[in-house]
Chain A
């Protein structure tokens, strides 16, 4: 029973964090751009939301403000890379590190509690209770997570099917071709970075409200969690090729990651071990497909050798 409750919490967390994973998926996979801004823009999303809410701004509006703040974070990385010609990884790291100071400035301190304020989670919970539907906090979070994940996937699916979205996908495939087709690849990267980091800040905002606090350190390692979700999704749903299904795979990957984490915690490891565990999960998820295909190639060679010797 206790584990089932833990799973509910894991699903809720997985859904909320999957929006971050979707953002990372856009840059890492679609654009083929190693965007390290993530840890910073995620925290920015939470910090902006916390400050907004603490200053009496409605939580739904705080979400939107966070999203815009995230888009600025993406724009800065884009500017550093495009205009100052800083390599992509370093451009992201510079934004990330500067966001640490900026996030502290935004909050004016290292963390901001939200327990005494309304969040969209509390608002929905009260709303549902009002019509006689008593749900646990985790179930409310699952509901909200599902709604936001659906909205994000639908919007991204639409956008990346448009003319601009298509040329952004092509940029990740073949930059030289995109320029030959008359599109400035700096612009396509810029737009993709803005959209990705908006998603990531949105995730930060939701996670902050769900946890009831924002902390300047909460984004540390977020990028690895995003990657873990992407690779777990890819390993489990290897055959999907359509863009929409791939995004769903990322969400499923994010949920599975959280369930694995819940399991590990049930086994008695502490939350302090989580970063190490995450790194191991990513390493395994990246290693396993290679190992399997090598093993299969070896078996095929052995089979061919046996057939040759038989003949």
Chain B
């Protein structure tokens, strides 16, 4: 479904800060995969996601989505195929606009926007229904400005926005990292619920190794801009956090477990 070939990205090339964040990375994602991504700080997890959806261009390599090379397309053109949820709850929504307006913007992701009304009455009913399945009481707050919602609620809304129009690939960039453990759990469960209901293909970056084991059907570990471990199915289910830490020590180039690995 999505194939990454020899992807390379260097930040600040030719300066003292030069950093090869992604180094000839290869990855093949099949339809229906729910992949969790772990790795230390600077391993290139977020950069990989940002390269896939085109926040910045890759230096080299190919990104092939459903047979089409997309690595040279601008971000806004790729957006029709990707649903995204960011680490910062402020990043996924427009604070000064109503909840319903935000959803209506997302409902038209990748569509040519014209002069018809920005939100139709029947859409409100759809949004109310979808929000009601979250069990967070958001269905009664359609007319509230997003800025009035809590971080967890905003992430739940962003999650709905990312999947309202079914994406080919859902990209979750540590979307629960900024939330308290309770809320993070709620949002993670919502994530599971949405992915299984819509049978989505997803890539989820997380610092929480237990969550990486508990969720999804495949796990990849990244280090120094490349994938050092890739496991799926029953073998993944048997993993324990200690196994991951040991594996990381064995496989990573530096060999030491950074604090950030201990979620």
> A184 and B91: CB pair below 8 A?
no
Chain A nearest CB, measured from B146 CB (Å): 9
Is A241 close to B, CB under 8 A? yes
Q: How far is the CA of A174 from the CA of B92 in the complex (A)?
A: 8
**Which bucket holds chain A's interface residue count?**
20 to 34
> A180 and B84: CB pair below 8 A?
yes
B118 partner, pick from A165, A182, A183, beta carbons under 8 A? A165
Is B16 close to A, CB under 8 A? no
Stretch at the interface among A49-57, A156-164, A254-262, A273-281: A156-164
Interface residues of A in 168-193 (CB under 8 A from B): 169-170, 172-174, 176-185
Residues of A within 8 A of B94 (CB): 169-170, 173-174, 177
Interface residues of B in 91-118 (CB under 8 A from A): 91-97, 101-102, 104-106, 108-111, 113-118
A173 partner, pick from B53, B97, B110, beta carbons under 8 A? B97
Residues of B within 8 A of A176 (CB): 55, 86, 91
B79 partner, pick from A169, A174, A181, beta carbons under 8 A? A181
Is B3 close to A, CB under 8 A? no
> B79 and A162: CB pair below 8 A?
no
Residues of B within 8 A of A161 (CB): 117-118
Q: Which of the listed residues A162, A174, A180, A182 has the most CB atoms from chain B within 10 Å of its own CB?
A: A180
Instruction: Find the A residue at minimum CB distance from B74.
Output: A184
Q: How far is the CA of A159 from the CA of B97 in the complex (A)?
A: 16
Is B145 close to A, CB under 8 A? yes
> B104 and A183: CB pair below 8 A?
no
Is A167 close to B, CB under 8 A? yes
Interface size of B by Cβ–Cβ distance < 8 Å? 37
Chain A nearest CB, measured from B167 CB (Å): 11
Binary flags per residue of A136-174, CB closer than 8 Å to B gives 1, else 0: 000000000000000000000001011111110110111
Residues of B within 8 A of A167 (CB): 105, 113
Q: How far is the CA of A183 from the CA of B82 in the complex (A)?
A: 13
> A181 and B95: CB pair below 8 A?
no
A241 partner, pick from B86, B101, B106, B145, beta carbons under 8 A? B145
A162-B116, A163-B115, A182-B109 are known contacts; what are 11 more A-B pairs with Cβ within 8 Å?
A161-B117, A163-B108, A167-B105, A176-B55, A177-B92, A177-B94, A179-B79, A180-B79, A180-B82, A182-B76, A182-B79
